[in-house]
């Protein structure tokens, strides 16, 4: 789900079932989101991800996201999150 506010969009959730991972589905979903947001004139896409979710962080970095800042104790269990940003071209 993507929430849109002015020039920025926020990705709240993206998921691929465990039996469908490593098939390029998440990459295709993100590419589709990028394309649609670019067509609508948006400049940036933000998301939060747990700092211990190495697989998601790796995917987001491969897809062009960068860590914007660390959000301390962001989750209810006290885990930090990274706020990640993608500049839409």
Q: Which residues of 38-49 are buried (b: 16+ CB within 10 A; e: fewer)?
A: eeeebeebbbbb
Residues 84/60, Cβ–Cβ less than 8 Å: yes
Q: What is the pLDDT of residues 12-22, one digit of tens each?
A: 999 899 888 88
What global pTM score does this model have?
0.86
Residues 50/44, Cβ–Cβ less than 8 Å: no
Q: What is the mean pLDDT of residues 1-27?
A: 84
Q: What is the pLDDT of residue 20?
A: 85
Q: Which domains does the chain have, with CATH numbers?
A: 2-87 (3.40.630.30)
Instruction: Report H helices in 1-89.
Output: 25-39, 54-62
Q: What is the pLDDT of residues 39-65, one digit of tens each?
A: 999 999 999 999 999 999 999 999 999
């Amino acid at each position: 789900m993507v929430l849109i506010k002015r020039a920025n969009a926020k990705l709240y959730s993206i998921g691929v079932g465990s039996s469908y991972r490593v098939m390029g589905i998440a990459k295709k979903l993100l590419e589709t989101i990028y394309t649609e947001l670019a067509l609508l004139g948006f400049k940036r896409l933000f998301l939060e991800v747990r700092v211990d979710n190495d697989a998601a962080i790796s995917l987001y970095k491969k897809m062009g996201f960068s860590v914007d800042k660390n959000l301390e104790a962001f989750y209810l269990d006290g885990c930090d999150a990274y706020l990640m940003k993608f500049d839409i071209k």
